[in-house]
Amino acid sequence: MTLARRDFLSAATAGLFPGFLQPTDSAAQANCCGLSVNVRAAPYQARGDGRTNDTSAIQAAVRAVASAGGGVIELPAGDYVVDTIRIPAVRGGTIRFVGQGWSYDAGANTRLVSGSPLPMFEPASGVNGIELSLVHLDGANIGTYGWYGQWGNKTRLLNVLVDRFTRAGVYFNQGLCELRQSYVRNNRGIGVRTSSDGWFSGCEIAANGGVGMLVAGGGNRITDNLVNSNGSYGIHISGKETPSNLINSIIGGYIGENVGQNIFIEGIIPENRNVGYNSIIGCYIQQTGPKRAGGIRIRNARQTQIVGLNYLGGPNDTGCITMESCDSSQVSGVASSYSSGNIVRLSRCDDVSISGITSRDNALPTTPAEGTYAIFIDAGCNRCSATDVRVTDARSRQLARGIRNEGAGTIILGAYAFTGASNPDSFGSAAVHTYDVQSRQWRTRGGG
């Protein structure tokens, strides 16, 4: 007798481990991890036909799994019309929703479609441990939130598509949440809102009507995402919703063509810099289209680190990095080209270090004079420094300028190779070139 590989494995497993239950399509199976149910099977019998409202059927499956202490809720291919799926707390267990995948094209996939202007998924207070994977949450321009996590902790959304919700695709007020390998786009409001200690990796957050990603609390890791073409900021780290918003990191990925700024970090007021210890590392930022926006703007923040940035500007961008009323920060290793504004501009800042800046083809004939400088440090700054700054202009008409420093106690050091507009607003191989506030004159030392 010949056995197929699947039959052999099933027989071997049953023989070696008699208590182990094989997966079936029955309504419920008790196993070592709780309960496994299929919402299309009896007694739940969700239709998934795109017309019948399946809220009560799926909700019954959720209650059964929660009562068993956790388990798996299978969502086979189909279009399930739902209002709100409410998830109760489970003591010591996890509830997992698992679909069959999703696609914009016709085929075998799992899609949940809003049938009313309510949040689609809403965990109750005290919920700790939910996983949702391989599903498409479609707000149909009716539903308010795809995931509304106001309470609890530890939600994982994996390989999901969330689109067409009116307020937010994904809303986490929960902590310790994850969104990975997912798409959040074409929502009317915010794409993703997070609170604290989240992990967001490998996602596309795009074409949402509001902010692509709003970071309202601290401790978030935002790694290798594509955040583009949102109707407001790309990523907004805000200090206006919590007493302090600290220790967020944006690492890698593409952020571009957003309205407002691609990355905006904002504390409350200069006297209360409640946003701090944030890092932006190894990102590629682009603003080449018609939208009037820039790369990074940081306001009323402390101890911000920007390292290893690639920036591509265009005829309408407002510059690469702007810092206002910031302190104890570092900008290092920035390569910029074709920007119409400053590469780094400091205003009313203290103790900010700028180093390793390379600017190519900066400024246009229409760029205001202040915007043609690669580095602009205004008179409100104190104890800042700029080192190893290189500015080149390969256009037939030279427009790029080097450094303008009006700050008190600011040091300009390093080896420079500047080619740009004529004196007095640029300099060639000067080792030190700074603006003396008292005499209101440019001073050059140690250069040719």
Instruction: Supply φ then ψ for residue 61, to 5 degrees.
Output: -65, -40
Sorted by sequence, the CB contacts under 8 Å of residue 99 that are 6+ apart come out as 75, 76, 77, 109, 110, 133, 134, 135, 136
pLDDT at residue 43, rounded to an integer: 97
Digit-coded pLDDT (tens) for 110-131: 999 999 999 999 999 888 899 9
The CA-based angle 230-234-237, given to 5 degrees, is 140
The domain 24-188: what is its CATH number? 2.160.20.10
Can you list the alpha helix ranges (DSSP code H) found in 43-160? Answer: 55-67
Q: Measured between alpha carbons, how far is 258 from 276 in angstroms, rounded to an integer?
A: 23
Question: Are β-strands 441-445 and 373-377 bridged in parallel, bridged antiparallel, or unpaired?
Answer: unpaired
Digit-coded pLDDT (tens) for 319-365: 999 999 999 999 999 999 999 999 999 999 999 999 999 998 888 88
Q: What is the DSSP letter of 369?
A: G
Q: 61, 44 in Cβ contact below 8 A?
A: yes
Beta-bridge mates of residue 138: 113, 163
Q: Which residue from 115, 51, 126, 48 is spatially nearest to 83, judged by alpha carbons? A: 115
pLDDT at residue 391, rounded to an integer: 84
Q: Measured between alpha carbons, how far is 202 from 432 in angstroms, rounded to an integer?
A: 43
Q: Which residue from 356, 350, 364, 360 is spatially nearest to 389, judged by alpha carbons? A: 356
- Which residue has tokens 């299978």? 74
Q: Measured between alpha carbons, how far is 62 from 417 in angstroms, rounded to an integer?
A: 66
Helix (H, G, I), strand (E, B) or coil at 23: coil
Instruction: Report whether the peptide linkage leading into residue 424 is cis, meaning its omega lies within 30 degrees of zero.
Output: yes
Domain range summary for the chain, segments of one domain joined by +: 24-188, 319-448
Instruction: Supply φ then ψ for residue 9, to 5 degrees.
Output: -65, -40
Sorted by sequence, the CB contacts under 8 Å of residue 241 that are 6+ apart come out as 216, 217
pLDDT at residue 2, rounded to an integer: 42
Helix (H, G, I), strand (E, B) or coil at 248: coil
Q: Which residues of the chain have pLDDT under 50?
A: 1-32, 415, 421-431, 446-448
pLDDT at residue 416, rounded to an integer: 59
Q: Which residue from 115, 121, 181 is spatially nearest to 151, judged by alpha carbons? A: 121
DSSP states along 44-70: T----EEEEE-HHHHHHHHHHHHHTT-
Q: 245, 272 in Cβ contact below 8 A?
A: no
